[in-house]
Structure 1
Amino acid sequence: MLTTLPPLFFITAALCVLLTGISKSGFAGGLGVMSVPILSLFVAPQFAGAVLMPILLLMDLWICGSSGITAGIGRPKWLS
């Protein structure tokens, strides 16, 4: 499947992940929700969501493990 995707898809996917990351940090407002529709211009919406979902989950786990959420109780045992 990856060999049949146009190279512009990978560039767009990288920009969508960057846009979503900036949006999650609070700088771009709600522009992060546009990532799946933008990727849907190249592939099916289900595949676009499947491409972005693991990246977004890893971003959330990384932030939860290193942010103030765990500052009062220490690092979670599953991260150590």
Structure 2
Amino acid sequence: MLKGINKQIIEIKCTENECFDKILLFVNANKNHLHPDILRKNAVDIASAITGDKMFSTNRKFNFAAVISTIIGVAMLVLLLIALCM
């Protein structure tokens, strides 16, 4: 959950993480003129990378390789089960 944003510090409260309470991000002085939505998106991306928590992620990309690998794995499992049943 993003608690607040100002021109200098972005505070991200990590309620789901048992080790950390919050993440503080200090905005570069030459970037504090950026729109808060841009800063917020970058903060969410960093929080996701730090915590590994997809809850923060707002930009999920389709992973074609993962889908193909899953389909191949399921197909191999089905073939193995068919071979064992014969």
- Give TM class, smaller chain: under 0.3
Structure holding more helix per residue? 1
Calculate the TM-score normalised by the size of structure 2.
0.23
Query: TM-score if structure 1 supplies the norm length?
Result: 0.24
Name the structure where strand makes up a greater proportion of residues: 2
